[in-house]
Amino acid sequence: MSSLKSALSDLGISEPQSVALIDNLFLAGAFEPSTLWASLHKVGAVLSGPLFEHVYNVLHHAGAYAASPDAFEPERVLDRLFAEGGTAGSEDALDLLVYWSQSSYGREANQERFEIPDNEQLQLNAGRYLANARTIGLVDAMEPNRDRYDETWVLGSIRHAMLGRLATLERYIGEGNDPGKIRLLAGNWEIYAEISGRYDSASGTYAGGGEYLLNAARKHNIRLDESQPLAVHGDETGDASGRITGKTYLRYAPGERRWLTESLMARELCAQFSRRHGTDIAVSETGSEGASRPDTFMTVDNEARRLVMQLRGVGRRSSDGAQPVHVQLVTGQPSVKRQTVLTQRAVDTLLRKEGMGHVPVHVHGVGQSVSGVRLEVLQSEEAAFICEHYLTATEGRMRKRPAEWLMFRMRDNTTADVPPLAL
């Protein structure tokens, strides 16, 4: 077995998923010789010489540099790349896989996935890329696998996605699924117009967001600067608000201390849900710095702490007869798998820290399918999918390279120190 196949297997990624991931890395350009050379050098110069020749030769014989992309054989790469006894072990193979996946897209901090720039290279083989994403598990719906759950956590998001997730939960309940106690996990961050309107699938943007912000603010008696209630946030020197440059925010009246936040929006949507079903939804808020948005890990970690403390309070510290706790995580594709892995890791980590590792808590990710999604969004989700599996598999282990060396937004992406490639 090759070190690459072994590394992917250790992550819990099946062989068909592994083949699909490698094929999509190829379609995204991760194996172009100059890109390959730079990645090997940045991960560790000790690897870049003889290892480059090995990787290049395996990819060459697998058809990566043929005239037609149809000649590429990802199965051959999976079987032969970083073969046993070579210069790279499974840890090196895994680190390079993470690095390559993180290199194949350019999502910046505070950027929504739908805002990632177009990648013309992906469009050349769009059907094949989408089929691979379906194999990985990023496209089709993930339906409930139980009739009853102890708790249901609905992941907060932008307004359009949050409405979709609540509608999905509504359907599950209508089909007889018992969600247990329902909690919506929202961030206490200031929302802006570009993500608050109705989704226009033709343009891939959100329309009417400014109108929604104005109506919501007035509904909640949040006082605005009526001379100019909406304004695009500029790049103000010394600005510490956490607002994103170029986004449209409300302008509040002098002395107004309340902001229109995701958590406030969530309470409004949950109240509408409760009126229809007579079912209460608790909103769990996760704080943030100014207007900056808490990421998914921050919100699920906050909720996991609440659950673990609750289990400890009802005597679940005893290992005798600890009954499983089942949590339904309602999100949506293409994010279901990676957010489930992330949430399970957060729960398990806290249980171990509290001496409750014997208490079985199972997170079951569910969510609606996705159609018409941009390939750039799928590409970003693939990178996150690999990343979450990597962080789970390596948690608490000493590594040759810290995760910060591999992740796109934390690592050194400059190439000035990379020597020229001579083929």
Residue 252 has pLDDT above 80, yes or no: yes
Pairwise CA distance, residues 83 & 4, whole Å: 8
**DSSP structure string for 201-239:** TTTTEEESHHHHHHHHHHHTT--B-TTSSEEE----TT-
Residue 412 gets which letter from DSSP?
A: -
Q: Region 228-250: what's the mean pLDDT?
A: 80
Looking at the chain, the whole-number percentage of residues with pLDDT higher than 90 is 50
10 Å CB burial of residue 181 (0-12, 13-18, 19+) is: middle
pLDDT value of residue 210 = 92
Residue 183 has pLDDT above 70, yes or no: yes
Res. 405 pLDDT band, cuts 50 70 90: confident
Which is higher by pLDDT, 282 or 292?
282
pLDDT value of residue 235 = 67
Residue 89 parent element (H or E) = none
pLDDT value of residue 289 = 57
The residue type found at 138 is: L
Most confident of 82-86, 103-107, 279-283: 279-283
**Averaged confidence pLDDT in the chain:** 87
Which is higher by pLDDT, 1 or 353?
353
Pairwise CA distance, residues 323 & 329, whole Å: 19
Q: Considering only 2-6, 30-34, 387-391, which range has the smallest mean pLDDT?
A: 2-6
Q: What is the CA radius of gyration of the chain?
A: 23
Pairwise CA distance, residues 287 & 80, whole Å: 47
Q: What token pair was written down for 222? A: 């949040």
pLDDT value of residue 286 = 87
Res. 41 pLDDT band, cuts 50 70 90: confident
pLDDT value of residue 290 = 52
Residue 76 has pLDDT above 90, yes or no: yes
Whose CA is closest to 94, among 341, 386, 345?
A: 386
Q: Taking CA 168 as the corner, what is the angle to CA 198 and CA 151, rounded to the nearest 5 degrees?
A: 125
Q: Region 8-16: what's the mean pLDDT?
A: 91
Q: Region 414-418: what's the mean pLDDT?
A: 81
Residue 178 gets which letter from DSSP?
A: B
Residue whose entry in the numeric block shows the structure tokens 């949050």? 162
Contact 291, 260 (CB under 8 A): no
pLDDT value of residue 107 = 60
The predicted-structure confidence for 136-179, as pLDDT tens digits, reads as follows 999 999 999 999 999 999 998 888 889 999 999 999 999 999 99
Do strands 198-200 and 181-187 pair parallel, antiparallel, or not at all (unpaired)?
unpaired
pLDDT value of residue 406 = 83
Res. 133 pLDDT band, cuts 50 70 90: very high
Res. 110 pLDDT band, cuts 50 70 90: low
Q: Region 177-197: what's the mean pLDDT?
A: 91
pLDDT value of residue 134 = 97
Q: Region 352-356: what's the mean pLDDT?
A: 92
Residue 20 has pLDDT above 90, yes or no: yes
pLDDT value of residue 99 = 87
Pairwise CA distance, residues 157 & 30, whole Å: 30
Residue 131 has pLDDT above 60, yes or no: yes
Res. 202 pLDDT band, cuts 50 70 90: low
pLDDT value of residue 52 = 86
Give phi and psi for 122, each to the nearest 5: -65, -35
pLDDT value of residue 25 = 94
Contact 423, 377 (CB under 8 A): no
Residue 312 has pLDDT above 90, yes or no: no
pTM to 2 decimal places: 0.88
Res. 64 pLDDT band, cuts 50 70 90: very high
Residue 31 gets which letter from DSSP?
A: T
14-29 burial, b if ≥16 CB within 10 A, otherwise e? eeebbbbbbbbbbbbe
Res. 334 pLDDT band, cuts 50 70 90: very high
Q: Region 203-232: what's the mean pLDDT?
A: 89
Which is higher by pLDDT, 409 or 11?
11
Q: What token pair was written down for 231? A: 């304004």
Give phi and psi for 201, each to the nearest 5: -65, -25
